[in-house]
Structure 1
Amino acid sequence: MNIQHSELILNSDGSIYHLNLKPEHIATDIIFVGDQYRVDKVTKYFDSIEFTTQKREFKTTTGVYKNKRLTVISTGIGPDNIDIVLNELDALVNIDLETRQIKKEHTALNITRIGTSGSLQADIPVDSFLLSSHAIDLNGMLHSYQIDTIANPEIEEAFIKHTQWSSKKAYPLVIENGKDLEKKLTSDLVYTGITATAGGFYGPQGRVLRLGLQDPDLNRKIDSFSHNHHRITNLEMETSAIYGLAKLLGHNAVSMNAIIANRANGTFSNDPGKTVKELIIYTLNKLVE
């Protein structure tokens, strides 16, 4: 059955609707960054550039770094944007855009996020690197999909009990990363842990300006959670959506975090740009090894 035009939307030139991309524009190895201006901070190290485009906050550049073809895409902020980006990237490689039919042969993408984050643990300092072994989805976007096959009920139930999680909120979902990518990107320089993904920057991450919080103690509960040597190490707004959709769609994903703040110690990096630059170089070199 053909996928209807209202479900798979294309631009007049045949490119996918939000990303403004055609299948030939992307590599199978993709780097996600949140900020559109960070795309150039990654691709300036490329040996050559073959394609670039931008629509809204979604900027894409494809080129070659040390003989490896790579694509860098800015996703913008939040799980809702990740829902757009991952579904449209998957459509580019696994749906025939002309016939609107799912291809018989599946193509798996390798997706590495390079982002910034704040540490929740006192022993993970600012200016360090952290690889997300798992992500815990606190925002609920993934519940729109059939998620039973990617859940980790034992960790989820322990987290709910420990935090006294409100039944009025979305059920927390824990998803593993792509282990093959983890092997490429890990080293003695990199911390690992569970990354919590919130649906917002202020209240959902425990920040108070003029609005009170549903649970003022939630951050303390998250910080102190531990289950079978798993602990929550950092908080951001994209990783669980990347991990969940990648797993469901048959892709590999890992999130690399430049730790620019430590909320346990109340510290912030003196030069966050330098830390991000070092993580970019580290990640590029690991991807081509």
Structure 2
Amino acid sequence: MPIKESELILNSDGSIYHLNLKPENISNTIIFVGDQDRVSKVTSHFDSIEFETQKREFKTQTGHYKGKRITVISTGIGPDNIDIVLNELDALVNIDFKTRKIKDTLNSLNIIRIGTSGALQEEVNIDSFLISTHALDMNGMLHAYKTDTIRTPKLEEAFIQQTNWHKGKANPIIVKGSSTLQKLFEGDHIHKGLTATAGGFYGPQGRVLRLAIQDPELNSKMDTFNFNGVKITNLEMETSAIYGLSSLLGHQAISLNAIIANRVLGTFSKDSNTLIENLITYALNKITD
């Protein structure tokens, strides 16, 4: 049965609603960045750019780097934006826009997030790189979908118990990243760990300005979380949504984090732009290796 127009929304030119993209505009290798200005920082390394568009915070450029076709998309901030971006990217490769039907043969995308993050462990030093082996969804977005096949129940239960997780909040969901992409990007100088994804920057990450927060001790509880050696290494706002939706839709995803702050030590990078630039070049060269 064709997907209704109210569910799969297309623009007058046939592009997908929010991203303003047509299937031919994207590669199977896609880099996510949060900031729209960071798209050009990635593509400035490209040999050529064949396509670009922007609608709202979603800026896209597709081009070639060392002979490989790569797409770079800015997602904006937060798991709700990832819900839009990943569902629309999947539609571009796995739904026939003419018939509005799911294709018989499904395509799998390789999705690489290049983003910034704050460390929750003293040993994860600022100005370093970190690969998210798993992602902890603390924001509840994934509960809109059937997630039984992608969850890690023992880790989730341990987190609930060790943090005395409030029953009024959505139960945490922990999802594994792509083992294939992890092997591609890992190195001796790169940290690895469980990344927590919050639904906001202030209260959800334990920051207090004028508003009291439900659990002032949550960050310290996450700092000390340990389940069979698995620790929560860092905190950001997109990875769990990327891992959860990618796993459900059959795509490969990895999150590469530039550690610009250490929340335990209260330190912040003095040259975050250079750190991010170094992560960009590292990722591009690993993709083409």
Q: Partner of 2:8 in structure 1? A: 8
Residue 105 of structure 2 aligns to which amino acid in structure 1?
E
Q: Partner of 2:140 in structure 1? A: 140
Q: Partner of 1:216 in structure 2? A: 216
d(CA) in 2 for partners of 1:26, 1:230: 36
d(CA) in 1 for partners of 2:83, 2:5: 18
d(CA) in 1 for partners of 2:122, 2:287: 29
1:176-223 CA-to-partner distances (Å, cap 9, x unmatched) read 001111111111121000000000000000000011111111100011
d(CA) in 2 for partners of 1:271, 1:210: 29
d(CA) in 2 for partners of 1:190, 1:10: 41
Percent of pairs identical after alignment?
A: 66
Q: Partner of 2:113 in structure 1? A: 113
1:54 aligns with 2:57: no
d(CA) in 2 for partners of 1:236, 1:75: 14
Q: Partner of 2:225 in structure 1? A: 225
Q: Partner of 1:100 in structure 2? A: 100
1:39, distance to aligned residue in structure 2 (A): 0.1
Residue 90 of structure 2 aligns to which amino acid in structure 1?
D
Residue 245 of structure 1 aligns to which amino acid in structure 2?
L
Normalising by the residue count of structure 1, what TM-score does the alignment of the two structures yield?
Answer: 1.00
Paired residue secondary structure (2:204): helix
Residue 29 of structure 1 aligns to which amino acid in structure 2?
T
> Matches of residues 21-60 of structure 1 in structure 2 within 5 Å?
21-60=21-60
1:147, distance to aligned residue in structure 2 (A): 0.3
1:38, distance to aligned residue in structure 2 (A): 0.1
d(CA) in 2 for partners of 1:192, 1:11: 41
Paired residue secondary structure (1:154): helix
d(CA) in 2 for partners of 1:76, 1:213: 25
1:119, distance to aligned residue in structure 2 (A): 0.5
Residue 201 of structure 1 aligns to which amino acid in structure 2?
F
Q: Which runs of 4+ in 1 moved over 3 A?
A: none
Q: Partner of 1:277 in structure 2? A: 277
1:202-249 CA-to-partner distances (Å, cap 9, x unmatched) read 000000001111111110001100111110000000000000000000
Paired residue secondary structure (1:148): coil
1:151 aligns with 2:146: no
Residue 178 of structure 1 aligns to which amino acid in structure 2?
S
Paired residue secondary structure (1:118): strand
Q: Partner of 2:181 in structure 1? A: 181
Q: Partner of 2:288 in structure 1? A: 288
1:258, distance to aligned residue in structure 2 (A): 0.2
Residue 167 of structure 1 aligns to which amino acid in structure 2?
K
Residue 102 of structure 1 aligns to which amino acid in structure 2?
I
d(CA) in 1 for partners of 2:227, 2:57: 38
Q: How many residue pairs were aligned? A: 289
Normalising by the residue count of structure 2, what TM-score does the alignment of the two structures yield?
Answer: 1.00
Paired residue secondary structure (1:116): strand
d(CA) in 2 for partners of 1:229, 1:11: 49
1:32-89 CA-to-partner distances (Å, cap 9, x unmatched) read 0000000000000001100000000000000000111000000000000000000000
In the alignment, structure 1 segments of 5+ residues that lack a partner are none
Paired residue secondary structure (2:20): coil
Residue 265 of structure 1 aligns to which amino acid in structure 2?
L
d(CA) in 1 for partners of 2:24, 2:43: 18
